[in-house]
Amino acid sequence: MSEIERESIIYDGAGQNHSVARSELKGLHEPDISKQAYFDRLDEINDTWGSIFDYMTGYEFETAVVNKQHIGENAILFLSTDFSSLTQNIGNAIELAANGAEKPNTAIIYVAFPGNGKSASISGVDRQHFINTGRFTMGEHTHHRYEPLNIAAAAARAVAWQYGKPEHISADVNGARFGLGVMAALPKDSISDAYFNGISGISPNAHYASSMLREDLAGRRERHARGEEYVPGEVTKASIREAKTHLDNIYEGWDHKALWLKTYIRAAVNAPTNLMAFKGHNDLGRLEDHAVFQDTVAALVRQEAMIRMQFNRESSLHSIDDCIRFGKLVMDNIPIELQSEDRGLELIIGTGSLDEHTLNPAGRLATERYGLRSIARFMRLVLSGDGSNITELPAEEIEVKAA
């Protein structure tokens, strides 16, 4: 297994002074996932794919679950990116199955971003607020009074009603933006930690649309060039062809074609909405208008949790210096009465591009394992052999060596 290099920038979570401490992460290794365990999770996705509903608003959300037997013990809420769902992108199923195989005793609840697949679109007043502010919350940091946007509150209620309260949240890129709103909507202090990979909207100088498109296309070209060789979680021609044999409920029949068409018809409105909402609202000199800053503070005011955000140096979507500045600004604006060792922000600085979650899924899973450190006793349980046996590793699987 390959070792992964990461640097961590930790903000003190207790007291009024939030100094930055740099650490070097050691002992992060790419997971070794058996094909059979991966195939079993594809079958589970096929069986659990469907919808959940918010009883208050009627909002519908596309969902699927892996390791469902562990709901109620330990659960991660995983949110898709802003133009993706199981319905329209089989890569979501491939990544979800690998994630479930890598964490066999942790339930992973997948929910598609609003407007995709079976998930309802943002509507009415919510849409206008989202375009104007880029946020999934309302309120601002000077009074520390926040409310989640209706769509985020609906997703939180639907998940809690159907599955119970998740303890962890994980998402990539703009799915992480939605994740902050959902954190602000879930029951108070119910979330232990969150891992957000490549979250957009930190840097004022980033060329949002062109950076996203360029890095995504580069990743697609590299993945498809791999041909028949792949490891579970990689999206290649071979893995797509193989995954489809396990996912007939999702990708076969006229019902799928109609749902796929409905998604792309709605995209005429949803895609411009997302672009307008996500492309700006990122000036760190104007915190009252900085969308990710406000939503991150809102999430931490609601949850006594550790949020870990990964940023990769080769991505042009953000500046690492801006990310470091952002982290300190967030922690400096947490109310004194809420400061604790369990509430804070940690930046994980890696190599690679924005598309690492699909281009290098093993590395992404390994870093998520670090990012969701409160699942430590669960992540020490790893698949061995053919996937039917469970072996417990030593408690300190990941060592953090102070620089």
Q: What are phi and psi of 299, to 5 degrees?
A: -65, -40
Whether the Cβ atoms of residue 272 and residue 130 lie closer than 8 Å to each other: no
Residue 26 confidence (pLDDT): 64
- pLDDT tens column, 119-176: 999 988 899 999 999 999 999 877 778 999 999 999 999 999 999 999 999 999 999 9
pLDDT at 17: 52
- Measured from the Cβ of residue 392, the count of other Cβ atoms closer than 10 Å reads 9
8: pLDDT strictly greater than 50:
yes
Q: How distant, in Å, are the alpha carbons of 183, 261, 275, 315, 318 from that of 207?
A: 27, 30, 12, 11, 9
Q: Where are the domains of the chain?
A: 6-402
CATH of the domain spanning 6-402, picked from 3.40.50.1820, 3.40.1190.20, 3.50.50.60, 3.40.250.10: 3.40.50.1820
Q: What is the mean pLDDT of residues 282-309?
A: 95
pTM: 0.89
For the stretch 28-72, pLDDT in tens is 778 888 999 999 999 999 999 999 999 999 999 999 999 999 998
- The two beta strands, 60-66 and 50-53, are antiparallel
Encoded tokens for 20 = 């930055």
For 279-287, what is the mean pLDDT? 92
Burial of 10 (0-12, 13-18, 19+ CB in 10 A): buried
CA distance 342 to 334: 13
Alpha-carbon span 8 to 347, nearest angstrom: 6
